[in-house]
Amino acid sequence: MTGGAIERFGPLRLGLVAAVLAAGPQLACGSSTPPTTGGAGVGGNGDAAAGAGGAGGAGGAGGLDAGCEPEPSLGAPSPTCNTIPNGAPSVPFTADPGASPSFEGGQIEDGLYFATLVEGTGTTTPAGRRLTLAVTNGGTQLFWNGDVLDGTAQDIEETFAANATATASGSTLTLTTTCASVSPSPLPASMSYTASATTLVLAVVSSSTNAAVTTYTRQGCP
């Protein structure tokens, strides 16, 4: 597969991306230092995959309730791009022997999300994630911060922050990158998606057999 980090390794997932770091992120290819596992930085330790703890769990970041108030812009000048701490766990890649999944679209809930499951079908390049995603403005503003990892989630392949505006049509989410800490942008032009009240599934589907799919679990409010 070709393209940016999320497109090559699956969305930051996403998504995109992937997707997500300290202020002033820099590219960190082939790092031999294993990324931190667990929810450091936003709300302390916790199991993001279970939807509890991490960035505040069901109570939201910093104890906020699940209904997010309108957020001021989370964006920052390049190359920082956004001010979101990356508290996501390190998630290894899981190969799925089946066909590319179908997607249902849906209303994307505002909130803070951690990547909690990274899957790929066909010949998708194995890559893990340690990505935080913030969604604001009624699901139309997306902010990623974190790392694309190797398939075992032990080494960092790329560290980035990236922001985008999003337009949903059916099960397709069209992205316009507004800031990226690395070049070219790690965000694809579009992704397939399925949204629920608690999860956001983002995927780059390159064929009927190849898809890179990242599931993000909502932690609360940014």
Task: Walk along the chain (222 residues) and give the pLDDT tens digit of each residue.
Answer: 434 455 444 444 333 333 322 222 322 333 334 344 333 222 222 222 222 223 333 333 333 234 687 777 799 999 999 989 999 999 999 999 988 999 999 999 999 999 999 999 999 999 999 999 999 999 999 999 999 999 999 999 999 999 999 999 999 999 999 999 999 999 999 999 999 999 999 999 999 899 999 999 999 997
Q: What is the pLDDT of residue 194?
A: 98
How far apart (Å, rounded) are the C-alpha atoms in residues 180 and 159?
Answer: 11
Q: At CA 176, angle to CA 121 and CA 106, rounded to 5?
A: 60
Asked whether 213 and 12 are in contact (CB, 8 A), the reply is no
How many Cβ atoms are within 10 Å of 18's Cβ, its own excluded?
A: 39
Please, what is the Cα angle at 122 between 98 and 12, to 5 degrees? 95
Query: In sequence order, what E strands does the chain have?
Result: 93-96, 111-121, 128-136, 141-149, 156-169, 172-180, 190-195, 199-205, 211-220
Which of 176, 156, 20 is closest to 88 using CA atoms? 20
Give the end-to-end CA distance of the chain in Å, rounded to a whole number: 32
